[in-house]
A and B are shown apart, each in its own frame.
Chain A
Amino acid sequence: MARWREAVAIGVAGCMIAPAHAFDRDPKPFIERLQSEGDRNRVLNQMELGVRYFWADSLNDAGAALDNCIRDIETVFLNDPSVTKARSRWYEEGAKTFKGEPYERAMVYYYRGLMYLQAGDYENARAAFRQGSMQDAFAEEEQNQADFALLLFLEAWASHLNGDKALRDEALDRVKKIKADFLGIADEDDTLVLAETGYAPRKLGDGANHSYFVYRRGKGFKEDHASIAVGQQVYALYPIEDIYWQASTRGGREIDQVLEGHVRFKNRTGDVGSALTQGATAFSAMGGGGGIAAGVGAIGALASLISTSAKARADTRTWSSLPDRVHVATFRSTTLGSETPTVSYLVGDAPSELAPASVTFRTDKRGHRMALVRSR
């Protein structure tokens, strides 16, 4: 019976962690969830915590949370009990230990890499961004594999700051293959401005029994561009990445085929159960043998129970604190001068309802500057 209760609990918990549509910066709920939801949602809760700590400037906590995510993402789960459950007919896919979809895993490395950049450890930043790109290589649609321009750009930026021009140019060539209009990085640039806009992509269950999910863009925001102003001078930030696009162009997952098999099983047993129950009822009404009709009816009921018990629901757990888009620009610090710049969030070319926000630069131990801002 414990197994049934657990299956139900997973279903309930799965519903409870539906993606939020507003970025609540408070880490406390996720600290509690980390305790109460255990291994199954550890990576998800660490992702949520990592981003909250990151934007709260609690970099030690953010680093620890993201490192835990990376450890679990890089761990190969083959004989893990949760994996066995996720493949089983009697548990939803959400029974598995969460590692996230490729775009979510890639974004773990994105935040970790940004932290290494802030610390002036450009080599590990570059390694993190490369690892993020590798996660994207799992995309099934070949034309969309390893096309995470944001991570390639940041890899180039890390190499640039480290003085590795050949590696920088190699990465920039790959960015330009994806974003032909991206201007690149000037040799003298020493300042990065990076702005995140909007809310995370959503995963919505679809199909019979919600056996697969579809992506929808996050809700509750309009801004899709950003610019930075210094005095009267305004510079557009380049929209280097659309996270929703990254999520939604991934293609089908192998687990979807397993879930499809579960749906077929569920349907077949349901049909058999229904047919047997109806047959038994009809047989009994026609004055057939009471014992036989009861027996057939019992098997029918059991088949229906099995059908009801079989789970084919896809895993829609989502890292809710990701942005919708990321925008970047690099500058020579003298270009920006000593005035405090402001970032404006735009809908296309028009101003959004969000007020411009002043930008604070952080200078790393090697003298390079970086400003990270988030629209909401």
Chain B
Amino acid sequence: MRVLLAALTLGVLITAPAPGDAQRRKRDKQPSLYQSLDSPGAVRGVAAESQDIVSMTDQMMRDLLTVPTLMNAAVAPRVIIDASYFRNESSQIIDKAIITDRLRVNLARSAAGRVRFVGREYVDAVQMERDLKSEGKVDVGTTGRTRAIAGADYRLVGRIGTRDAIDVRTGVKERYSVYTFELLDLEYGDLVWSNIYEFKKAAQDSVVYR
């Protein structure tokens, strides 16, 4: 009887479902879901995630709204916020425009006309339309002609930097990320505003990948 019991127990142990099977079945049935932008995603690593981008652009926007030279000028200053001088010197592949676009759009909405934004990255489109107007191929539109396209007073500049470290023994990856945002006076060249957003992330992969 004991022999039979031992044999049965061993048999059950062998044929029992693997621990991950139920989890996998559950995952397979999971439909796609909308997630909060400021929540950590299901895909984890040491790279910047959506919540980092949301958090950093919100923080920069709030800080920019307190800069007197920008917000309290008698004439609304013109600012360029695009990715051209926002440099990625880091080890992270990133679409910088996601950051600068979010910052510009939210700042434009919050500044409510106190700042004007120059779309310098679309200068070709502007020039083409001006040329067509000048050549008489199209009319002048409804807002009239200007002597030249808008010059800017300030431009967003900055840098993304990272420092990576790996503990080979434990497989822990660590990344310190620094996002520097600055506002450059395009006439005088001084930096009228600076701020920094930094974070550090660590992740450890399973032993089967080490």
Contact = CB atoms under 8 A, between A and B. Distances in A.
Interface string B17-33: 11111011001000000
B207 A140 contact: no
A348 B15 CA distance: 57
B168 A138 contact: yes
Interface size class of A (residues with CB under 8 A): 35 or more
Interface stretch (A129-137, A210-218, A220-228): A129-137
Nearest to B17: A3
A147 interface: no
B21 A3 contact: yes
B168 A81 contact: no
Interface in A117-142: 123-124, 126-128, 130-131, 134, 137-140, 142
A254 B14 contact: no
Contact of A299 (B3, B87, B166): B3
B18 A3 contact: yes
Given A124-B93, A138-B171, A85 B3 contact: no
A76 B10 contact: no
B19 A84 contact: yes
Interface stretch (A15-23, A87-95, A237-245, A327-335): A87-95
Contact of A145 (B7, B168, B210): B168
B11 interface: yes
Contacts of B14: 90, 305-306, 309
A60 to B, nearest CB: 16
Contact of B6 (A4, A74, A82, A299): A299
B166 A255 contact: no
Interface of A: 1, 3-4, 70-71, 74-88, 90-91, 93, 96, 99, 112, 116, 123-124, 126-128, 130-131, 134, 137-140, 142, 145, 164, 167, 253-255, 258, 295-296, 298-299, 302, 305-306, 309
Which 9 A-B residue pairings sit nearest by Cβ, starting from the closest?
A: A81-B20, A295-B3, A130-B91, A123-B88, A74-B45, A84-B20, A81-B24, A254-B210, A86-B208
22 contacts: A3-B18, A70-B93, A74-B43, A74-B45, A76-B206, A78-B205, A80-B20, A86-B208, A90-B18, A93-B208, A96-B208, A112-B93, A123-B88, A124-B88, A127-B92, A130-B91, A131-B92, A137-B166, A145-B168, A298-B7, A299-B6, A299-B7
